[in-house]
Amino acid sequence: MADVLALIDANNFYASCEQAFDPALIGRPVVVLSNNDGCVVSRSSEARQLGIGMGKPYFQIAAQLAQHGVVVRSSNYALYGDMSQRLMSSLEPFVAELEVYSIDEAFARLPRPRHGDLSAWAAELRSRIRHNLGLPIAIGLASSKVLAKLANRIAKGDRRHAGVFDLGREANPDPWLELTPVEEIWGVGRQLGRWCRLRGIANARQLRDMASGELRAKAGVVGLRLQLELQGVSCLPLEQAPSAKRETCVSRSFSRAILSEQELRQAVATYVVRAAEKLRRQQQCSGRLTVFARTSPFSPGFYSQAASTALAVASNDTAVLLQAALPLVAVIYRPHKRFAKAGVLMQELQSQEQLQHHLLAPLPEQEQQRRAALMQSIDGLNRRYGRGTVQWAACGIAPGWMMRREQLSRAATTRLSDLPTAWAR
């Protein structure tokens, strides 16, 4: 029998993680806010039932949330990242191949048993993840990735499916495809969605059956592949090993507008420090870096500027990257502009190993090793005792523009000082 493709994802992942480590939240409505406590990015099922909308700005609904006793949390990426790794490694023994697609979803391939029925397998997987990690998951099964994603949406959409839907077992998939609006198909962007609507194509069944010549003229090979996938022909392979990143970006919105060059420097320095940390974790070095900043696009006098520089030798040493990045701040800074966001982009990434024996190395090899050890120690301290334990002075001390995370829960699975309490009383 042919293989099955599965899309497995955690329901309300961020809110579920919060509930898993704070038993006071079990059964209560919980919402998690985006960076800067901006808008709602995750809702527990209890919060969903209260009719709290996804993506709603927090300040607009704060009163409504308080009135319903909704627990509000800032995004706790330390916790979600750790739980994501635990989730993915727990899925592995259940499938033949796994592609981690995002923090809370994975594609998988597994053989279909002779009798065809995977419901026992799915039930076992769901109960295992629920039991071991406290996370509810949904599983969509079909013969292609696009259909697996569509099946997952059906699994979650209707309680009667109990979190599992196997499109491959349906004698006639058409009614299910008709249930899926064209914009909700994986791979259909806003533009293609609009184009489809204009042609009267409203759902997945219609897209599957439309003349392929027309689709090809609009969306090329990508469109044809999408159509084949909808027909159940698997054309998108599983990507098991994530390809090495070619760029790394760190950017954030500020909690309030930044007017002074000094504060903009501090912000950029903070993002450089973060990006350097990421590079070291990825064992990569950056050959070029770009610094950018902009004002709010919703205010008059919109201003956006970027500046870029090449490094003599690619590096992931925070001091080297800071030295390269900070002079660029003076280039992009304009007085009287109210900066709302800034970031750094690390480009031309190369693997650290390739660089180790570079003949043009700016520092003697011994000195290089000493600096690498220093960076390692700083990363180790910050990992162990929390980010910012060892701080670069260029980042400023307790800056006022720092991301707002006022309702942050603890790093319950990754930091010794933040462990949940087991009461012996």
Partner 1 sequence: MPGRPVSLLLIGSLRSQRPSLRLPLAASTVAAGFPSPADDYIDVGIDLNEALIRHPSSTFFLRVSGDSMIDAGIQHGDLLVVDRSLEPRPGLIVVAVLDGAFTLKRLVRYHGRLRLEAANSAYPPLELHQCGDVQIWGVAIHVIHALTRHG
Q: Rounded to whole angstroms, how far apart are CA atoms 148 and 5?
A: 6
* Smallest distance from partner 1 to CB 362, Å: 4
Hey, what amino acid is at 389? T
Binding site for partner 1 (CB under 8 A): 23-24, 26, 85-87, 89-90, 128, 131-134, 261-262, 265, 312-313, 319-320, 322-323, 326-327, 330, 357, 359-365, 367, 374, 378, 390-394, 412-413, 416, 419-425
Pairing of strands 339-351, 284-295: antiparallel
Whether 286 contacts 347, CB under 8 Å: yes
* Smallest distance from partner 1 to CB 27, Å: 9
Q: Rounded to whole angstroms, how far apart are CA atoms 264 and 258?
A: 7
Rg (CA), the chain: 24
Q: Rounded to whole angstroms, how far apart are CA atoms 148 and 276?
A: 37
* Smallest distance from partner 1 to CB 151, Å: 26
35 vs 414 by CB, closer to partner 1: 414
- CA-based nearest residue to 25, from 41, 47, 56, 48: 47
225 vs 288 by CB, closer to partner 1: 288
* Smallest distance from partner 1 to CB 23, Å: 4
* Smallest distance from partner 1 to CB 240, Å: 18
* Smallest distance from partner 1 to CB 348, Å: 17
124 vs 367 by CB, closer to partner 1: 367
Q: Which residues contact 380 (CB under 8 A, 6 or more apart)?
A: none
The residue whose two tokens read 């523009």 is: 401
6 vs 320 by CB, closer to partner 1: 320
190 vs 425 by CB, closer to partner 1: 425
Per DSSP, the residues of 382-406 read HHHH-TTSS--GGG-SS-TTSPP-T
31 vs 325 by CB, closer to partner 1: 325
296 vs 414 by CB, closer to partner 1: 414
Does residue 281 sit in helix, strand or coil? helix
**Can you point out the beta strands (E) in 84-176?**
97-102, 105-111, 137-142, 164-166
* Smallest distance from partner 1 to CB 5, Å: 23
